[in-house]
Amino acid sequence: MPINKNAFKRYKVIDMLLRNKMRRYPTLEEITEICKEKLDLENLSTETIKKDIEHMRESQPSGFDAPITYNKQKRGYEYLDPDFVLGGVSLNDSDVDAIKESIDLIRSIGGTRVGEKFSNAMEKILTTLLEEFPDGTKKHSFLQTMTPPKSRGFEYFDLFYNACTTETPISFVHYNYKKRSFSASTIHPFLIKEFENKWYIIGYSEQHKEVRTFGMDRVFEPIRLKKKFIKVQKAIIEQEANDYYGVFPIPNQKKQRIKIRLSDLATNYFEAYPIHESQKIQKEPDGYSIVTFQLVPTIELTRLFLSHGHHVEILEPFWLIEFTENLK
């Protein structure tokens, strides 16, 4: 849950008191009274401060990992780590402006594209910055993006992200739209990918004995498994992350040179919106352009070419010309 700004103000006072070397081991009552005085909170209770301390102790991203302990001998609170500082990062005004701009971008994207823990962490950073560097005025957002509603299956984003980082196999029920049937799947995930506002989980599939891609919208009842994680080669991971336009590769194809011919109109589009970092455009005297890519051919790439109609002509490889014709 995002951190309340008023609560964070109390956390800062508590942090200040616990770091005070001249008056160590403040009691719960003393902390409450000082918070009342500094924050002008007449109705603040010791129970609220007690909950604040518990929240500060919680692990990130929900808490701050504050090493607060109660010293029974001194009958007061202290930091086990005397060097701990709540939100202890040194920032200058330029750093703060850069972070605020980044957060503005993330907030414009919204929770449909980042998991809950990322949203919580973002709110924590923003709350800290507003407390440390108040600007006195509330500005409207200067950035807006088209943010689609959350798609089905996105509620499992955090689970799959954690599975990737901790190398944990996942079993789930997979729905096939074409066959209209369900099947059990077990994957060893290593990458989460977004393409055209849809999210996919990629990993080694035990059923298929190879790396497979699954749309999160087709995933139901995912479960973490306590079994050995099957790793794939680093080169495969890098290829999945860097050498695709889209997510579904054409079977039995490797990274290769793809060559197309563009009309003047299509050239303008590809110049304005490059589809891959390997894209190279060479303009011809007749107004057309020759474009090359170094990519693993994918279904999405062929559909992109087809969407431009006669403005895009595939020149190489020859098998891709025939493959694309069969999709029409």
pLDDT digits (tens, 9 = 90+) for 160-212: 989 999 999 999 999 888 888 899 999 999 999 988 888 999 999 999 999 99
Q: What is the pLDDT of residue 149?
A: 63
94 residue type, one letter:
S
Which of 42-56, 125-139, 262-276 is the least confident region? 125-139
Region 224-250: mean pLDDT is 91
Sign of CA dihedral 183, 188, 193, 199: positive
Region 118-143: mean pLDDT is 58
Per-residue tokens: 104: 């503005």
256-327: what fold? Alpha-Beta Plaits (3.30.70)
Terminal CA-CA length for the chain: 49
Please determine whether the domains at 5-79 and 256-327 fall in the same fold group of CATH.
Answer: no
Confidence of residue 90 (pLDDT cuts 50, 70, 90): very low
Q: What is the pLDDT of residue 179?
A: 84
Of residues 5 and 222, more confidence is placed in 222
Distance CA 79, CA 68 (A): 5
The burial class, CB within 10 Å (0-12 / 13-18 / 19+), for 143 is exposed
Phi and psi, residue 129, nearest 5°: -65, -40
Please say if the pLDDT value at position 110 is more than 60: no
SS (H, E, C) the chain: CCCCHHHHHHHHHHHHHHCCCCCCCCCHHHHHHHHHHHHCCCCCCHHHHHHHHHHHHCCCCCCCCCCEEEECCCCEEEECCCCCCCCCCCCCHHHHHHHHHHHHHHHHHCCCCCCHHHHHHHHHHHHHHHHHCCCCCCCCCCCCCCCCCCCCCHHHHHHHHHHHHHCCCEEEEEEECCCCEEEEEEEEEEEEEEECCEEEEEEEECCCCEEEEEEHHHEEEEEECCCCCCCCCHHHHHHHHHCECCCCECCCCCCEEEEEEECHHHHHHHHHCCCCCCCEEEECCCCCEEEEEEEECEHHHHHHHHHCHHHEEEEECHHHHHHHHHHC
Please say if the pLDDT value at position 256 is more than 90: yes
Q: What is the pLDDT of residue 30?
A: 94
Residues in the chain, how many?
328
Q: What is the pLDDT of residue 317?
A: 95
pLDDT tens readout for residues 22-77: 889 999 999 999 999 988 888 899 999 999 999 999 887 678 889 999 999 999 99
To the nearest whole number, what is the mean pLDDT of the chain? 84
Please say if the pLDDT value at position 277 is more than 90: yes
- Let me know if domain 5-79 sits in CATH 1.10.10: yes
CATH architecture of 154-242: Roll (2.30)
> Would the pTM count as exceeding 0.75?
no
Which residue ranges make up each domain of the chain?
A: 5-79, 154-242, 256-327
Region 83-108: mean pLDDT is 64
Confidence of residue 106 (pLDDT cuts 50, 70, 90): low
Question: Other CB atoms closer than 10 Å to residue 166's CB: what's the count?
Answer: 9
